[in-house]
Amino acid sequence: MIENIRLSFRGIFAHKMRSFLTMLGIIIGIASIIAIVSTIKGTNDQIEKNLIGSGNNTVKISLYQEDWEYSFDSGIPNGVPTVSKYTLESLKNIDHVEGATLYRSRQSNQSIFRNNTSLDGGYIMGVNQDYFSIAGLTIKQGRGITEDDNMKFRQVAVLDETSARLLFGEDDPIGKTIEISSTPFTIVGVCADKETFEPIMESIDDYRTYNQSTGSKVYVPSESWPIFYQFDEPQNALLKVDATSNMTRVGKKAAQILNTNVSSSSVQYKAQDLLKQAKDIQNLSKSTNAMLIWIAGISLLVGGIGVMNIMLVTVTERTKEIGLKKAIGARKKAILFQFLTEAVVLTSIGGIVGVLTGIGLAKLISIFNGTPVSISIPAMLLSVLFSMAIGIIFGLLPSYKAANLDPIEALRHE
Extents of the domains making up the chain: 2-50+284-412, 67-265
Average pLDDT over residues 276-305: 68
In sequence order, what are the beta bridge partners of 267? Answer: 65
Q: Residue 72, class by beta-carbon neighbours within 10 Å (0-12 exposed, 13-18 middle, 19+ buried)?
A: middle
Indicate the helix (H) or strand (E) that contains 268: strand 267-271
pLDDT tens-digit series, residues 222-273 = 999 888 887 678 899 999 988 877 888 888 899 999 999 888 878 899 887 6
pLDDT at 379: 79
User: Please, what is the Cα angle at 110 between 105 and 113, to 5 degrees?
Assistant: 100
Instruction: Output the DSSP codes for 58-73.
Output: EEEEEEEETTEEPPGG
**DSSP string covering 218-254:** EEEEGGGGGGTS-TTPPPEEEEEES-GGGHHHHHHHH
**H or E stretch including 138?**
strand 137-142
Helix axes 16-52, 274-284, angle to 10 degrees: 140
CA distances from 413 to 317, 320, 326, 401, 408 (A): 10, 6, 14, 15, 9
Mean pLDDT of the chain: 80
Give the model confidence (pLDDT) of 18-37 as tens digits. Answer: 888 888 888 888 888 888 88
Q: What is the pLDDT of residue 1?
A: 64
How many C-beta atoms surround the C-beta of residue 29 within 10 A? 28
Lowest average pLDDT, out of 91-105, 177-191, 192-206, 324-338, goes to 192-206
How many C-alpha atoms does 253 have within 13 Å on its Cβ side? 16
* Percent of the chain residues topping a pLDDT of 70: 79
> CA-based diameter of the chain, in Å?
106
Residue 409 has a pLDDT of 62
**Whether pLDDT at 155 is above 50:** yes
